[in-house]
Structure 1
Amino acid sequence: MSKIADVIKYEGDNSTFIWKHPCEDFNSLTQLIVRESQEAIFFMNGQALDLFGAGRYTLETQNIPKIGKLLNRTTGDETPFHCEIYFINKTEQMSIKWGTDSKVQYVEPTYGFPLSIGASGEMSLRAEDSRKLLLKLVGTESFLGQQKLVSFFRSFLMTRVKTYIAQVLKAKSINIFEIDEHLTIFSNEIKNLLVSDFADYGVSLEQFFVTTIVKPDGDKQYEKFKELHFRQYADVAEAKLKQQTDIIHAQTEAQKTVIESQAMATKRTQEGYTYQQERGFDVAEKVAENEAVGEFTNMGVGFGTMAGVGGAVGGMVGGMMNDAMGSAINPSTPAPSSQSAQAFCDNCGAKLSQGSAFCEECGTPIVKFNKTCIKCGYEFERYGKFCPKCGTKRGD
């Protein structure tokens, strides 16, 4: 017979799930202390009678109702009786390692080739149902620690884990070459499948982590598909880089064109002429460089082009065109003099009466200008920036 115990309490460590107190015989006035995150199961004659939560208990018949009829009260409850106390540690126990004992065989979902991989990681467990855990796994044992619990679970754990790994990889279509970036989802899916398996033994699977996937590096078939996979992404990355480069180049050219256009517009504003007038100046310069009508054809300048030149400059160029045509057709016909030419207002384009000082339509003063080009001697009919015959910039 064991010695009479005054106090019974848990004396195991944090890596223990179930611990049996060494005293088996004690009197009914013995004190039972159960700490937080613990439970104690009272056994008498091999039967689990009562379960105690956190607190301090005096083992008297009124506190243990299921054994009240079994006690012999003839000795004033002082007679020792045979009993056992099991403590269940319900704290979450972490960093319990696991690993597959052999390779998992499955068909890679992306490329469809057979593959063998291994896996390992960690998990955390907690005693959930004290009675179920004690009766199913402990039996007559006095101690159940992490290693022993994992050894109990090893067979079914390896079978379930390998099956679930293949199922999850297929169901989620996880590429073997991208599996490392899906480990969190992969771990959670396997954990959800394992929860009910552990619950059958009164254990709660709190966390389950896949930390390492052992790939068949060096296998010829695996290496072939690996090269194909990464070549595909390299080609996509190269094409994307080229596309981005082309976009940047196009944006740069567009910005350059806008800047040049803005600069030219600023120049025209400062010098007092428009885009249409500038085109007229260009045409006028080409006209001045050619003496015969045939030259216009060589330049690609047609009659429609001259008719389309707008503004006062268009009028001058059109007049020059008519002069040149007339001279070419009938050399004896003299060109009209500047005195008989019709003048127009620079502001509104209205015809001006000969000798007018102001426009009759808008009242704009008539600008006086030099009459003769300093280079070719052409007699100007009105104000302008360039000579319509030779294109020389005027000084008026």
Structure 2
Amino acid sequence: MAEKNTERRHLINVIKFEGEDDALVWKHPVEDFNLGSQLIVHESQEALFFRDGQALDLFGPGRYLLETDRLPMLGKIYELPAGGQSPFHSEVYFISLATQMGIKWGTDTKVRLFDPASGLHVELGASGEFSIRVTDSRQLLLRVVGTASSLGQEDLLGGGKGFFRAMVMTQVKSYLAQAIKDNGINVLEIDERLLELSAALRERINGSLGEYGLTMPEFYVSRVVTPDDDPNFRRMKEQYAEQYLTVRQEEIRCKEAEAAAERRAVEAYTDARMKILGAQGEAEALKIQKAAEAEAYRMQAEAEAQEMRMKGYSYQQETARQVGMEAMKNGIAGEGSGGLGEIAGLGVTLGAMGGVMNLTKEALNPVLNCAENAGRTVSAAISDSWDCTCGQKAVTSNFCPNCGAKRPLPAAAGTWDCTCGEKGISSNFCPNCGAKRPAPSAAETWSCSCGQREISGNFCPNCGKKRGES
């Protein structure tokens, strides 16, 4: 049987990978090859050629013919005899460069650590998965595999005998406790930081794996096992729940306060808008009312003027007639007697009587003119006087003889004085206190440009001019 195996070794002419799919390193079982044999290396593989235990040539993907010119290191050391027989012992190792995925890991014991949020000590466990890839085939074979026939996933961490189990577990336990302490991570919220912990652990573990020709492209902490039966852990969860509820209640109260403030602001704005709209409506209504009253006055005046034109006399004559009729009822003599008062009374009475009795204008003109002039002079003198604030009455000069105060300027037409002290207001509302212009009474008087003052009717009794005409 030994002779047959020896013969088979010398007759092999194709060398290729025939190991398991999850193997990182696999050694070909045939150790002696004939020159001229073919070496086939698949994609994502490398093949390392050994002679007498010494690592020589490293082959990448492709098909190779084992000849002297393709084995330069062998050609320099040995002279190969003719006949195609190998004069030396040789070995070939196939190394997979593909990334091995889904390798599981887990801590063998709990990690005791201090929770900074609650001030309690708890014990945690962790587990997850990682992937691994060969970065230096020669270094992996020389430092890890040695003379072993293969290296698989199970040999890395599995069964408590993995080459890197102790290193990985130490890194996980040490860094997990350190990261929670240094970063103030709440144990109950640790699931939110798993990606951060996974990335940091991968970097730390790769720092140690690099010298063995390996790297971990991914390392995941997928689960942290909490001690639910630990009294300290239960107390920590209760504290966290109370803290969360307190914070949540404060947030709800803040939201309610903000909503109430916003509602009050909307109500205040709405109330202000309603007041403004109400004031605008009242002003518009008053404007329409006054316009209607003015139109009614105008139509009444036009009707009266039309009536007088149809009767053949003016408004001034009608007024004089009415005054005369009143004078006749009360007697020709007035309250005063003698001097200017009698002449004025006589003039008015005669003028009224002339209108009543249809006296001729030529007969009454001298008396009427004299009386009218006298009455106009007295009326102008009386109406031109003013009362000073110091108490002096009926002042006719421009300055008060008692205190020297200047005669006040006459109020502009259409203005009014407010009870708050603001005077000469032309708008409908007081600019000082906001009071509304008082509605004009039926007995409101006005002054004519001819000098006649305190007129209560719509036409001047002196010149017949209509109220409001310039």
- TM-score of the superposition, structure 2-length normalised? 0.59
Q: What does 1:175-194 correspond to in 2, within 5 Å?
A: 175-194=186-205
Aligned match of 1:354: 455
Within the candidate set 59, 71, 80, 1:52 is matched to 59
1:164 maps to 175
Larger proportion of helix = 2
Query: Does residue 30 of structure 1 match 2:41?
Result: no
Question: What residue is the counterpart of 2:27 in the other structure?
Answer: 20
Following superposition of structure 1 onto structure 2, how do residues 244-255 of structure 1 map, counting pairs within 5 Å? 244-255=255-266
Q: Is the 8 A contact 1:5 1:26 kept in 2?
A: yes
Greater shift in the superposed pair: 49-58 or 181-190: 49-58
Q: How does 1:87-236 map to 2 (within 5 A)?
A: 87-150=94-157, 151-236=162-247
Letter aligned with residue 206 of structure 2: V
1:307 is matched with 420
Match runs of 1:332-347 below 5 Å = 339=443
One-letter code aligned to 2:225: V
| Aligned residue identity for 2:277 | T
Counterpart amino acid of 2:74?
A: I
Quick check: which has more Rg, 1 or 2?
Answer: 2
Against the structure 1 CA distance between its residues 6 and 229, is the aligned structure 2 distance closer, same or farther, given a 3 Å change threshold?
same
The 2-side partners of 1:342 and 1:225 are apart by 91
Instruction: Provide the rounded CA distance (Å) in 2 between the counterparts of 1:162 and 1:125.
Output: 20
- Structure 1 residues 29 and 255, CA gap change in structure 2 (3 angstroms): same
Partners of 1:213 and 1:183 lie apart in 2 by 9
1:149 deviates by: 2.1
Q: Which amino acid aligns with 1:57?
A: Y
Q: How many Å apart are 1:146 and its aligned residue? A: 0.5
SS of the residue corresponding to residue 187 of structure 1 reads helix
Residues 256-304 of structure 1: per-residue CA shift (max 9 Å, x gap): 2322332332232223279xxxxxxxxxxxxxxxxxxxxxxxxxxxxxx
The offset of 1:79, in angstroms, is 3.8
- 1:153-191 Cα distance to aligned partner (Å, 9 max, x none): 112221222112112222222111111111100111111
> SS of the residue aligned with 2:244?
helix
Q: Secondary structure at the match of 2:93?
A: strand
Could you tell me which amino acid in structure 2 is paired with residue 101 of structure 1? D
* Higher RCO structure (Cα 8 Å, ≥6 apart): 1
Q: 1:240 to 1:43 in 2, by over 3 A?
A: same
Q: CA deviation at 1:219?
A: 1.7
TM-score by length of 1: 0.69
CA distance in 1, matches of 2:421, 2:284: 17
Distance 1:258 1:47, change over 3 A: same
| Paired residue type of 2:187 | I
- Letter of the aligned partner of 2:222 in structure 1? T
* 3-state SS, counterpart of residue 200 of structure 1: helix
Partner SS for 2:218: strand
Q: Secondary structure at the match of 2:129?
A: strand
**1:342, distance to aligned residue in structure 2 (A):** 5.9
Matched residue SS, 1:307: coil
Give the alignment partner of residue 262 of structure 1, picking from 254, 266, 273: 273
Aligned pair count reads: 306
> What amino acid is aligned across from residue 183 of structure 1 in structure 2?
L
Cα RMSD after superposing both structures: 3.2
Task: Quote how far apart the aligned CAs of 1:76 are.
Answer: 4.2
Deviates further, 5-14 or 94-103: 5-14
- How far apart are the structure 2 equivalents of 1:104 and 1:200? 27
Higher strand share: 1
% identical equivalent positions? 39
Residue pair 2:121, 2:232 contacting (<8 A) in 1 also:
no
CA contact (8 A) 1:50 1:64 kept: yes
Correspondent of 1:243 among 244, 248, 254: 254
Equivalence for 2:72:
65
1:250 and 1:24 mapped to 2: Cα distance? 88
**Residue segments in structure 1 that go unaligned for 5+ positions in a row:** 275-304, 321-336, 345-351, 359-364, 367-396
SS in 1 for 2:163: helix
Shift of 1:309: 8.6
Match of 1:8 among 8, 15, 21: 15
1:81 Cα offset (Å)? 3.7
Residue deviations 1:179-205 (CA, integer Å, cap 9, x gap):
111110011111111111111221111
CA contact 1:28–1:80 (8 Å) conserved in 2? no
Cα displacement string for residues 301-327 of structure 1 (whole angstroms, at most 9, x for unaligned residues): xxxx95279967879x99x9xxxxxxx
SS in 1 for 2:18: coil
Structure 1 letter corresponding to 2:210: A
Output the amino acid matched with 2:275.
M
Cα distance, 1:210 vs structure 2: 0.3
1:73 positional shift: 2.6
* CA distance in 1 between partners of 2:280 and 2:117 (Å): 65
Superposed CA offset, 1:332-368 (max 9, x none):
xxxxx974x6669xxxxxxx9635869xxxxxx86xx
